[in-house]
Amino acid sequence: MTDAIATRTTYTREQVDLIKRTFAQGSTDDEFRLFVQTCERLGLDPFARQAFLVKRWNTELGCNVAQTQVSIDGFRVVAERTGRYEGQVGPQWCGDDGAWRDVWLDKAPPAAARVGVFRAGHREPIYGIARYASFVQTKKGGEPNRMWATMPDIMLAKCAESQALRKAFPQVLSGIYSPDEMGQSERDGMVDGEYVTERAEAQARVKNESDRHANMLIDDVLPTLQERADVERFCHFNGWDIARLHTNAKSRLWRALQKRMAEINADIPAHELRQLISTAPQPEETEE
């Protein structure tokens, strides 16, 4: 499909494949087109690490949603190209006392950071303020990840600058966020190389339960099948559970079933078995 991807920017097939392996990992063709079009609209170069496509779990939709995220360098490039960007003031940091400082020297992380952006036609700088508690990205145990533990002032300043630039130039940066801002918006996905989401734990539980159920069917039920009718009944009455198995567990069960059918000379086409599984009744819920 990558050969069919056409964009105003000329990318060779090798470049397209490289972008999809690095800066747009796991993207579909439609997601990749949208990513490239966003880069074109903003005038950003993914090879200069100015933009990335990141997929994060959306709890409301129940699926991964792709979003283009722009690095702080990309934000600066976009602002510069507007012709109305006139520099910045800051960054500045403050502790719990609210007193702004030009340099953060305390060992403890700052409570907040702010950056002001000058835009032509505005009398005062347009400030973006980022609170540490709102943006710090954490590991599963709740402690800050490596970047936020070693340079919290720098990370917080980037969040504040992104906000300021977006407020100053909404016509070009509306809806555009940096990875530093978005890492904590959903506790899903990769944060500094560590998968720190409750969803990952839920997926592990589902996989473990699937493996357990598949093992029970393979070890305890399949050996009892002696003829074609037994196989048909097995698929029909267990079809609902089979369809809900994790992919790996389902494949393992399917291979074991094929092996058992060969042992008892039950020659049943795969499409007939799938039909039996797909029409299996849903188990009735019982009241406790």
User: pLDDT digit string (tens) for 17-62?
Assistant: 777 676 676 677 777 777 878 888 888 877 777 877 776 666 665 6
**Does the structure show a pLDDT above 50 at 196?**
no
Average pLDDT for residues 227-231, to the nearest whole number?
88
Neighbours of 15 (CB within 10 A): 13
Residue 45 gets which letter from DSSP? -
| SS3 state of residue 196 | coil
pLDDT of residue 94: 92
pLDDT of residue 63: 64
Q: Please, which pLDDT band fits residue 10 given cuts at 50, 70 and 90?
A: low
Residue 180: which of 202, 204, 163, 197 has the closest Cα?
Answer: 163
Q: Please, which pLDDT band fits residue 187 given cuts at 50, 70 and 90?
A: very low
**Does the structure show a pLDDT above 80 at 178?**
no
Mean pLDDT of the chain: 77
**Does the structure show a pLDDT above 70 at 79?**
yes
Tracing tokens 């530093």 back to the chain, one arrives at: 180
- Amino acid symbol at 55: K
More confident residue, 19 or 272: 272
Integer angstrom CA distances of residue 104 from 95, 149, 166: 9, 14, 24
| SS3 state of residue 93 | strand
Average pLDDT for residues 77-90, to the nearest whole number?
87
Q: Please, which pLDDT band fits residue 168 given cuts at 50, 70 and 90?
A: confident
pLDDT of residue 270: 81
Q: Please, which pLDDT band fits residue 197 given cuts at 50, 70 and 90?
A: very low
Q: How far apart are CA 176 and CA 276, in angstroms?
A: 48
